Structure 1
C-alpha cells in the first residue's frame, strides 16, 4: 500500500437536482479540493467520478471521488475504489453531512458507528469495517417539526449560503492536513476553541 495515497470520498446524491442540497456537502467539499488540485472529475469503472492530484509537489496524492449512486448505497463504489487503488480503509476519508453538529461546524473522527447516517451505514457494511476517517460537516437540525429526510434534501438557506464557502474551505484544509501531517494534527487544529 502506498502510504502517500489517500482516498477522499464526498458523499451526496447524483444529478443537478441535488447539487445544492445539505446532503451533498460532501460533494461540495471534494469539488473545492479538485479546484485546488486543478483536476477534473472523470468517470471511473468503480461507478464513481474521480479526480486525482497533489496539494504540493512531492506531497500526498489525493484521489477524490463522488459515487454515482445515491448516498444510501455508497458502499459498493467506496469498496471498489479501495480495491482499485489497493488501499486500506485507514487511508479512506469520508466527507459527509451531520445533523447533530450545528451548521458551519467541523469534526474529524476515526471509527465509531454510523450515527443513523445511511451513507456511512452502507460504507461500513460494504467494507466490513468502521476504521476510516470521517469529516463531519455540521448542517444543524431541521426547524420545528420538519422531518430530517426533508431537511437534508433541501438546499442550504440563504443565510447559510453566505457562510457555506468557509465551511467547505475549512473541510478541504482539514483533508489536506490529514494527508500531510496525520489525523491528530488535523484534529488539534480543527477542534481548537
Structure 2
C-alpha cells in the first residue's frame, strides 16, 4: 500500500489557486483510476483504490496547507507506511509553469506544507513537484500562490494533471525517474523566456 497526498487548502475560496495544484492532481488521479467515493478520515478527504494492483490511499488534507503533515503523518502511522511509500503532490515556485520534477528527501525550499510533512515523517518521502512559476519578487510570492490560475494557463495545467494521472503506474512501482520522464513526455512544459514567465505569473 502507498499513500498519495495532494496538498492544498480546503474551501471554495482556494479551490482554483496555484497553491491547490496538489488537490487538483489528487482529483485527476481519483477520476482516472476510478477510486472509491470521497469520505472524511485522518483529518482529510480520502479515497481508496488500486493502480495496477497496488492499493492506494489518496488524501487531500483538510488541515490547511501549513499543517498538512498532521494529516498525512496520522495516516502513515496508522497503516505503518514508510516515508518511501508516501508520494506528495505540491506546487513548486522554483520550477517554471508546467515543469514537473520528482524528488526524494531534502529540505522544504520554503514550501510550508512540505515543511510540515518533514516534521511528521522525516525528509525521506517522495515529492511530485509541480511548477507554478515565481512572480519575480519575494514579496509577491504569497499573493501569487494564493491566486487562481489564469485562463491562458489552463491548457498546460490540464495536460499536466492528466499526465500525472495517466503515468501513475510508474510512480506506484517506485520508478520515479521514469515517471517524471513520462509525465513530461505527455505534457511538455510551455516554453517561456524568463521575462515571459514573470509576466505570466503576474497575469500580464
Q: TM-score, normalised by structure 2?
A: 0.84
Cα distance in 2 between the residues matched to 1:160 and 1:188: 21
Please state which structure has a larger fraction of its residues in helix.
2
* Residues 188/36 of structure 1: CA separation in 2 closer, same or farther (3 Å cut): closer
5+ residue gaps, structure 2, are 189-204
Picking from 107, 112, 115, the partner of 1:113 is: 107
Deviations 1:140-187 (A, max 9, x none): 112678610000001001100132110111222343311035224324
Number of residue-to-residue matches in the alignment: 185
Contact 2:2 2:172 in 1 (8 A): yes
Match of 1:69, SS state, is coil
5+ residue gaps, structure 1, are none
RMSD: 1.9
Counterparts in 2 of 1:39-188, with a 5 A limit? 39=35, 40-44=37-41, 46-56=42-52, 59-127=53-121, 129-142=122-135, 147-180=140-173, 182-188=175-181
Q: What is aligned with 2:22? A: 26
Cα distance in 2 between the residues matched to 1:112 and 1:97: 16
Q: TM-score, normalised by structure 1?
A: 0.89
Contact 1:96 1:137 in 2 (8 A): yes
